[in-house]
Structure 1
Amino acid sequence: MSAIKHMVVFSLHSGKENEEAELFLRTSKEELAAIPGVEQFEVFRQVSPKADFDYGFSMVFADGQAYESYNNHPVHVQYVQERWLKQVIRFQEIDLTLHQSS
């Protein structure tokens, strides 16, 4: 299996472009990017009026094993329980690999 690009778009209970949102984004990046196996962690702000989410995270994992390790890592599990579930109002997740045409 090739590298996995994990992306999530979301909106916060606190709204967007405010101090609480900025703290969430900054703290999330610090915590999640430090987990072993996470590569190319990026934070995005939505600019399209066609989308119903305000922010996005993107990261890359070398393979499925690295992705699974991330999902089960204690820092990630704690982050989801103590930060994500309490501060995110809605989200959508997508995981992609490169399409290998024949």
Structure 2
Amino acid sequence: MAILHTVVFRLSHPAGSPEEALFLDTARETLTVIAGVRDFTVRRQVSAKSDLDWQFSMLFDDQDAYDAYDAHPLHREFVATRWATEVEAFQEYDFVDRP
């Protein structure tokens, strides 16, 4: 069963800054080369009801593909060196289609 992995977040960088752009570009470049990642998207959140600004989403064919991504050294390094230091707040949601 396919898994849609999403995370909505706020960066420590000012909106429109070069640092913000670099973080988003680095995420795309790093995470999309990991086997099993499909349909990676970056979206700006525009609702005034949330203080989180950005969303990443990606699709995995199954739990094994998701687990391999989660354990992959590139993902782990990105989380440790960029996510942990540049993301102020986030919410993560993973979805599967209703049977």
Bin the TM-score by the shorter chain. Answer: over 0.9
Aligned residue identity for 1:53: L
Separation in 1 of the partners of 2:35 and 2:6? 17
2:20 alignment partner in structure 1? 21
Residue 16 of structure 1 deviates from its aligned partner by: 2.0
Separation in 1 of the partners of 2:15 and 2:79? 20
Q: Which runs of 4+ in 1 moved over 6 A?
A: none
Q: How large is the Cα RMSD of the aligned pairs?
A: 0.7
1:93 alignment partner in structure 2? 92
In structure 1, the gaps of 5 or more residues are: none
Residue 14 of structure 1 deviates from its aligned partner by: 1.0
Name the TM-score, length of structure 2 as normaliser.
0.97
| Identity of matched residues, % | 45
2:2 alignment partner in structure 1? 3
1:72 alignment partner in structure 2? 71
In structure 2, the gaps of 5 or more residues are: none
Residue 6 of structure 1 deviates from its aligned partner by: 0.2
Residue 91 of structure 1 deviates from its aligned partner by: 0.4
Separation in 1 of the partners of 2:50 and 2:98? 25
Separation in 2 of the partners of 1:45 and 1:96? 20
Residue 50 of structure 1 deviates from its aligned partner by: 1.0
Aligned residue identity for 1:6: H
2:39 alignment partner in structure 1? 40
Separation in 2 of the partners of 1:64 and 1:74? 18
Name the TM-score, length of structure 1 as normaliser.
0.94
- SS for the counterpart of 1:41 is strand
The count of residues paired between Structure 1 and Structure 2 equals 99
Separation in 2 of the partners of 1:63 and 1:48? 31
Separation in 1 of the partners of 2:21 and 2:47? 19
